Chain A
Amino acid sequence: MKRVSRLLALVFVGVLLSACVPTMYVDQTLPPASKADVAMKATPQPIQLLYEFQTRGSANARATESTRERVFNVVKDSGLFSTVSAEPQANQHRLTVVINNVPITQDAVSKGVGVGLTFGLVGAVVTDGYDCKAVLTVPGAQPVTLEYKHAIHSTLGNTAPPAGLTPEPSPRDAVTKLLNQLMWSIMRDLSKSDVL
Chain B
Amino acid sequence: MNKMRSLLLILGLSGFLGACTTVAPPYAASVANVDVTAKLAGPIAVGKFEFEKGREAELNSVGARAGVFVSPINNSFADYFGDAVTKDLKAAGKFDASSPRVLTGVLVKNYLTAAGTQVNESDLQVRFRLAQGRNTLYDKLIQAQNQWESSFMGAIAIPRALDNYVATIQKLINNLFSDPDFIRASAVK
- Measuring CB to CB, which residues of chain A are less than 8 angstroms from any residue of chain B? 48, 50-52, 55-56, 58-65, 68, 86-88, 92, 96, 98, 109, 113
- In the bound complex, how far is the Cα of B27 from the Cα of A64, in angstroms? 10
Contact A59 B93 (CB under 8 A): no
Contact A86 B91 (CB under 8 A): yes
* B:132-189 near A, CB below 8 Å: 146, 148-149, 151, 153, 156, 159-160, 162-164, 166-167, 170
**Residues on the A chain within 8 Å of B92, using CB:** 88
Tell me, yes or no, whether B129 is within 8 Å of chain A by CB. no
**Residues on the A chain within 8 Å of B26, using CB:** 61, 65
20 further contact pairs, Cβ within 8 A, besides A50-B29, A58-B148, A87-B90: A51-B28, A52-B30, A52-B31, A56-B149, A58-B163, A59-B28, A59-B167, A61-B25, A61-B167, A62-B25, A64-B28, A65-B26, A86-B91, A87-B91, A88-B90, A88-B91, A88-B92, A92-B93, A109-B151, A109-B153
**Residues on the B chain within 8 Å of A109, using CB:** 151, 153, 156
- In the bound complex, how far is the Cα of B128 from the Cα of A167, in angstroms? 51
- In the bound complex, how far is the Cα of B163 from the Cα of A58, in angstroms? 8
Contact B167 A58 (CB under 8 A): yes
Contact B153 A60 (CB under 8 A): no
Instruction: Please give the distance in Å from B162's CB to the nearest CB on chain A.
Output: 7
Contact A88 B93 (CB under 8 A): yes
Contacts A59-B163, A109-B151, A109-B153 given; does A86 touch B29 at CB 8 Å: yes
- Considering residues B29, B31, B159, B166, which has the most beta carbons from chain A within 10 angstroms of its beta carbon? B31
**Residues on the B chain within 8 Å of A48, using CB:** 91
- In the bound complex, how far is the Cα of B3 from the Cα of A33, in angstroms? 54
- Measuring CB to CB, which residues of chain B are less than 8 angstroms from any residue of chain A? 24-31, 34, 90-93, 146, 148-149, 151, 153, 156, 159-160, 162-164, 166-167, 170
**Residues on the B chain within 8 Å of A65, using CB:** 25-26, 28
**Residues on the A chain within 8 Å of B34, using CB:** 50, 96
In chain B, what residue has the closest Cβ to A50? B31
Contacts A58-B167, A59-B167 given; does A52 touch B91 at CB 8 Å: no
In chain A, what residue has the closest Cβ to B94? A88
**Residues on the A chain within 8 Å of B170, using CB:** 59
- In the bound complex, how far is the Cα of B29 from the Cα of A64, in angstroms? 10
* A-B pairs with beta carbons under 8 Å apart, 12 shown: A51-B31, A52-B30, A58-B148, A59-B28, A59-B163, A59-B166, A60-B167, A61-B27, A61-B167, A63-B163, A88-B93, A92-B93
Instruction: Please give the distance in Å from A66's CB to the nearest CB on chain B.
Output: 9
**Residues on the B chain within 8 Å of A62, using CB:** 25, 159, 162-163
Contact B90 A61 (CB under 8 A): no
In chain A, what residue has the closest Cβ to B149? A56
Partner of B166, one of A50, A61, A86, A88: A61
Instruction: Please give the distance in Å from B26's CB to the nearest CB on chain A.
Output: 6
Instruction: Please give the distance in Å from B91's CB to the nearest CB on chain A.
Output: 6
- In the bound complex, how far is the Cα of B92 from the Cα of A51, in angstroms? 13
Instruction: Please give the distance in Å from A64's CB to the nearest CB on chain B.
Output: 5
Instruction: Please give the distance in Å from A87's CB to the nearest CB on chain B.
Output: 7
**Residues on the A chain within 8 Å of B166, using CB:** 59, 61
**Residues on the A chain within 8 Å of B159, using CB:** 62
**Residues on the B chain within 8 Å of A92, using CB:** 93
